[in-house]
Amino acid sequence: MDNFLCFLWLVILLLDLFITKSMSAFVPTSRYYQGSVIIGNKIYFLGGIDKTGTGTNNIFYLDVSSPFYSVNPKWTDLTSVAPIPVNSAFAPSCVGGSNKDTIFLFEHHRTNNDNSTSLVTFAFDSTTQKWSAPTTSGAIPQTRQDMRAVVDNNGNIYINGGFEPSITQKSYNSTFILNSLSLSWTNGPNAPIIRSAYTATLLSSGLILYIGGTNDDPSPEINMNSISVYNTNIGTWSLMNAIGDVIAPRQSHSAVLNKNGFIVIYGGAANNYTVAPNPALATLDTNSMPYKWSAKQFNSVYAPPPLAYHSAQIFGDYMFIAFGVSLINAKFDLATAPNNNIFILDTSNYTWVSSIINVNVNSSFVGPPNPNPTTSTSSTPAGNNSSPITIPLIAGLGSLLGAFIIIASIIGIVFCCRKKKRQHYYATAGTNTRI
C-alpha cells in the first residue's frame, strides 16, 4: 500500500510537470494586420506586424474544436518547419485549390522582401505543410495591399481595390480574379467605390458584399450604408444603400457571416486611427431588401476592448476575434495597446463567452465558410455575468494550484521514501529494535 502511495504521488508530480509544460507551450506574440483563414477546425494566422514595426514570417494555427477555452487556447507553431517565404503583413489570404486545403497568400514583396511591381502569389499546402511560389498566368495584378480575398464554390478567388504602397500610394477599385485550380488571372470590372481596409463577405447567393474601409476622398472612411455588391454569377457590380440603425464609418474592422444570413462586424477605427466608432458590434441583415443594419449593445466581462487591425473567423456559431490593437490615449498603436487575447462571440444570441463546451464538428468549414450552414451548436460560458470569473483570476488560481500540487507531491514522496527506508529494518530474536 505504501509503495502504491509513493507511486501515486510520483504520477501526480509528473502530471503536474506535464501540465505546466503544456501551459508554457508556444504562445504567439502580439501583432496586427496578420492574415487568417480557417481549414477544418483550425484557424491559421499568417505574418502580421509585431512590436518591432516590421512584418513577420510566422505561421501558426489555433485549434478551435471543443472544448475550447480562451484562457489557454491550443496554439501550434509551424514557423520552424514552414516559415512564410517573405515577411508578410497587410496581405490578403484565402483557401482554395482542388482539395480546398491550400492557403493562398498575395504579397507585395518578393522572396528577398523587396517591393514588387506585381502581386506575388504564395501557396501553403496544409497537408504537407510546405510553401511554394506557383507560376501564375494571365493578367497578373499590380501590387496592392490592405484588401481582402474571397473564394467562391468554384475555386475562384476575388480581390478588389487595395492600396498601392510604394509608387502612387493610392487606393483603387480594380477587380482581379484568380482561378485557384488553373492558377490563371483575369480582370473583372471596376467596383463603384474605391476601397481599402474594408471587409468582403460572400453570401450563399454568390454575392460578395464590400463594407466600410477608406478611399482617397477628403473624408477617408466610407459610409457604412454604401455597400458595393459583386455578383460572381454574372460578373457585375451594383451599389446597395442599406437602412436601419446608424453605424459609424470605419476601417480595419472585421466581419463574418453567421448561419442566419447576418453579417456580424466588430471594431475598426476612424479619423486617422484616433477614434473607436460606435457601435463596436453590429449586424447587417442580408435577408431583407434593402439590407438592414442593427446595432448590438453588450456588457460582458468576456467582451473585447475596441479593436482595429484584428482578424475574425467563424466556426459554427462562434466568431473568434484575434490580435490587433486597442484604443489608448486617442491612438490605436501596437506599442501601447497590443491585444494577444482571443475573444469569442456566440452569434446565435450575440453574447460574449469565455469557452465553448459543445461544438458540432460537422459544422467546421473547409475552405471558405459556408454561407448558409445548417448544423447547430451550443455553448456553455465558463461562468456568467452575475458572478464572473475573470481570466487573470483563473490564471492566478491555476498557478496557486500548480504550486500546491508540486509542494504536496515533493512532501509526499519524501515522506513515503523515508517510511519505506524505516521498513527495511525488521525485529529479530535477541534484539530490541522497534518497527
Region 27-31 average pLDDT: 95
Q: What distance in Å separates the CA atoms of residue 364 and residue 362, rounded to the nearest whole number?
A: 5
Dihedral sign (CA 52, 53, 54, 60) = positive
Question: What confidence score (pLDDT) does residue 384 get?
Answer: 32
Percent of the chain with pLDDT over 70: 76
pLDDT per position as a tens digit, 58-112: 999 999 988 999 988 999 999 999 999 999 999 999 999 999 999 999 998 887 7
pLDDT value for 3: 57
CB < 8 Å & 24+ apart, contacts of 377-386: 377/316, 377/317, 377/318, 377/348, 379/317, 379/318, 379/346, 379/353, 379/355, 380/355, 381/302, 381/351, 381/353, 381/354, 381/355, 382/69, 382/353, 382/354, 382/355, 383/354, 385/299, 385/300, 385/301
Contacts of 411 (CB under 8 A, 6+ apart): none
Cβ atoms of residues 161 and 172 within 8 Å: yes
Any idea what DSSP says for residue 21? Answer: H
Compare 352 and 420 and report the one with higher pLDDT. 352
Question: Which range among 162-171, 249-258, 381-390 shows the weakest confidence by mean pLDDT?
Answer: 381-390
According to DSSP, the β-strands at 102-109 and 93-96 are antiparallel
Residue-wise pLDDT tens digits, 349-381: 999 999 998 765 443 333 333 333 333 333 333
pLDDT of residue 390 exceeding 60: no
In 24-51, alpha helices (H): none
Cell numbers given for 102: 491550400
* pLDDT at 12 > cutoff 60: no
422, three cell numbers: 524505516
Collapsing DSSP to helix, strand or coil, 321 comes out as strand
Pick the range with the lowest mean pLDDT from 163-177, 183-197, 301-315, 368-382.
368-382
What region does 141 belong to: left with phi over 0, alpha with psi -120 to 50, or beta? Answer: beta
* pLDDT tens-digit map of 297-351: 998 999 999 999 999 999 999 999 999 999 999 999 888 899 999 999 999 999 9
Question: How many Cβ atoms from other residues are within 10 Å of residue 403's Cβ?
Answer: 12
pLDDT at 359: 66
Contact present, 102 and 46 (Cβ < 8 Å): no
Calculate ∠ Cα 216-56-336, nearest 5°. 70
User: Do 46 and 367 touch, CB atoms closer than 8 A?
Assistant: no
Q: What is the DSSP string of 393-420?
A: HHHHHHHHHHHHHHHHHHHHHHHHHHHH
Q: Which of 18-27, 49-58, 99-108, 147-156 has the lowest mean pLDDT?
A: 18-27
Q: What is the pLDDT of residue 357?
A: 87
First to last CA, the chain: 17
Average pLDDT over every residue of 122-149: 96
Distance CA(115)–CA(163), nearest Å, equals 13
Rounded to an integer, what is the distance from CA 55 to the centroid of its chain?
17
pLDDT in the model for residue 360: 55
What are the beta bridge partners of residue 256?
264
Is residue 427 pLDDT above 80, yes or no?
no
User: Residue 115: its pLDDT value, please?
Assistant: 82
**What's the confidence (pLDDT) of residue 2?**
56
- Residues 268 and 282 sit within 8 Å (Cβ to Cβ): no
Answer yes or no: are the C-beta atoms of 39 and 95 closer than 8 Å. yes
pLDDT of residue 4: 53
Q: State yes or no: pLDDT of 397 exceeds 70.
A: no
pLDDT of residue 126: 97
The average pLDDT across 124-149 equals 96
- Domains delineated in the chain: 135-363 (2.120.10.80)
Mean pLDDT of 246-274: 97
Close Cβ partners of 282 (under 8 Å, ≥ 6 residues apart):
245, 247, 264, 265, 293, 294, 295, 296
Q: Identify residue 151 by its one-letter amino acid code.
A: V
Q: What is the mean pLDDT of the chain?
A: 82
Give yes or no for a contact between 347 and 332, defined as CB atoms under 8 angstroms apart: no
Work out whether strand 68-69 and strand 59-63 pair parallel, antiparallel, or are unpaired. unpaired
Confidence of residue 23 (pLDDT cuts 50, 70, 90): very low
Confidence of residue 7 (pLDDT cuts 50, 70, 90): low
Q: How far is CA 268 from CA 28, 54, 415, in A?
A: 22, 21, 59
